[in-house]
Structure 1
């Protein structure tokens, strides 16, 4: 946890997707201080006609390399979120060649009782996880 959902335009190969996921995970570990094995990621590829992502008037040009990441997580501080956004954009540019204008990130926070990692137990609530 956190759980990251990636929506991308179809056409990337397995190596490109692996690099995207590995890079995002490294940023997650550094920004949020989560353990290395705390990794939950889901990728969905879409035809370009199924993603509409304008710029909210910011003057951002998007390309077919667009990546939209939705993060579901326990509460994080404003500083952690800003660090995550910055690291993610910087490292995806460096490691994947992704233009930072092609990155959209949204975060949804939830509470400890909203997570079960298996066996029908809320491990943050039972104390199995901290």
Structure 2
């Protein structure tokens, strides 16, 4: 936990996807202070016409390299979120060549009772996880 969903336009090769996931995880570990093995990621590829991401009036030009990341997480501070956004954009540019204009991030917070990591138990509630 956190759980990250990556929506991308079809066409990336396995190495590109691996770099995207590895780089994103490193930014998450640094910004949120989660353990290295706290890694949950799902990639969904879509045909180009199935992702519509306009600029909300901000004048942002997007390409077919668009990455939309939805983060589901326990509550984080504003500073942690801002650090994550900044690190993520910077490192995806450096390590993956992703233009920051092609990165959209959305975060949804939930509580400890909203997580089960297996075996039908809520590990945050049972004390198995902190």
Normalization by structure 1: what TM-score? 1.00
Partner residue of 1:128?
128
User: Cα RMSD between the aligned structures?
Assistant: 0.3
Superposed displacement of residue 79, structure 1: 0.3
Count of residue correspondences? 130
Partner residue of 1:110?
110
Give the gaps of 5 or more residues in structure 1.
Answer: none
Superposed displacement of residue 72, structure 1: 0.2
- Spell out the pairing of 1:1-130 with structure 2 (5 A cutoff): 1-130=1-130
Superposed displacement of residue 116, structure 1: 0.3
* CA distance in structure 2 between the partners assigned to 1:125 and 1:27 by the alignment: 27
Runs of 4+, deviation exceeding 3 Å: none
Normalization by structure 2: what TM-score? 1.00
Could you list the per-position Cα deviations for residues 29-63 of structure 1 after superposition, in whole angstroms to 9, with x for gaps in the alignment?
00000000000000000000000000000000000
* CA distance in structure 1 between the partners assigned to 2:95 and 2:32 by the alignment: 20
Superposed displacement of residue 84, structure 1: 0.2
Could you list the per-position Cα deviations for residues 81-129 of structure 1 after superposition, in whole angstroms to 9, with x for gaps in the alignment?
0000000000000000000000000000000000000110000011100
Superposed displacement of residue 15, structure 1: 0.1
SS of equivalent residue, structure 2 residue 65: coil
Give the gaps of 5 or more residues in structure 2.
Answer: none
